Amino acid sequence: MEYEINKPPETESSAETASAMIEHILVELAFEETPDLAESRQALLAALTQENIDVERRKQVIVKHSMISEAIANSSTGSLGLENINRRALIQIALTIYEARIFLEANLIEKCAQKLELAYQYARQDGFDSLASGIDDILDKLAD
């Protein structure tokens, strides 16, 4: 099962273009931000950008976000048929790209690139070559 990713128009800065490209891929993957995930994203973004936040509090927010993401991936698939394995892989890739977007919003470009590299590796490994190419394009844009 291959997913064709169309490219969005470029915007002004590399970060803006990368953000638009990330959003475009998430739309193409039909990724929907749940209310719990939206709340977690806001908490994570705040934890990443606040200077005076306690390190333990930051870790708690990151762990909670990871648990919500994992619950979404697990609840989106039922049996372990091939179609559901592919669906879970795509959901996991989308969640990884979603996390990259959070790091980009927090202006943590290196962390964003690390998440995108992980998503790229997952996409290549699972045979989603067009998706991997789209992710690679974002990594190239971040390197500009």
pLDDT in tens, the chain (144 residues): 455 555 555 546 888 999 999 999 999 998 989 999 999 999 999 999 988 888 898 899 999 999 999 888 877 655 455 566 788 889 999 999 999 999 999 999 999 999 999 999 999 999 999 999 999 999 999 988
Coil, strand or helix: which one is 33?
A: coil
Residue 75 has a pLDDT of 78
Residue 72 has what pLDDT? 85
Q: Find the angle CA(62)-CA(66)-CA(119) to the nearest 5 degrees.
A: 110
Residue 44: its pLDDT value, please?
94
Q: Find the helix or strand (DSSP H, E) in which 132 lies.
A: helix 129-143
Query: Which pLDDT score, from 0 to 100, does residue 4 have?
Result: 54
Closest CA to 94 of 6, 28, 45, 14: 28
Angle at 104 between CA 38 and CA 117, to 5 degrees: 105
Tell me what pLDDT residue 87 has: 83
SS3 for 8? Answer: coil
| Residue 109 · residue 91 · CB < 8 Å | no
Give CA–CA dist 87/91, Å, rounded. 6
Q: Can you tell me the distance from the alpha carbon of 2 to that of 20, in angstroms, rounded to the nearest whole number?
A: 22
